[in-house]
Amino acid sequence: VYLNENRAVMKTLVGLLRLCKWFSYQKSVKLRRNVAKGVKNKHSEKKIQKILVLKNGIPIMRLHRHGGCESLHANSRFG
């Protein structure tokens, strides 16, 4: 009887350990995904900034997300 109880306890501990590892893995995946998304956004901002500098010849120091370049987009569509 004692041996069966030990096996049950060991199975429970192994299950908890697997669950902890799974949660840890999920958290690390989420963090990596967020970092990758931030890097992608940063590259997009730099690309937009480069295009604006080439188009206007005036360096733009700060870009606001979805702001400040609507007139350029409108001009490029109709111009």
pLDDT tens across 36-58, in order? 888 888 888 888 877 777 776 66
Select from 32, 77, 69 the least CA-distant residue to 47. 69
Give the N- to C-terminal CA distance of the chain in Å, as an integer.
Answer: 85
Q: What is the domain count for the chain?
A: 1
* pTM greater than 0.85: no
pLDDT tens by residue, 17-41: 999 999 999 999 998 888 888 888 8
| Predicted pLDDT at 43 | 83
Q: Which domain range does residue 70 map to? A: 2-78
Residue type, 16: L
The sign one gets for the Cα dihedral 45, 50, 56, 62 is positive
Nearest-Å Rg of the Cα atoms of the chain is 26
Looking at the DSSP assignment, which residues form a beta bridge with residue 67?
64
Reported as a pLDDT band with limits 50, 70 and 90, residue 69 is: low
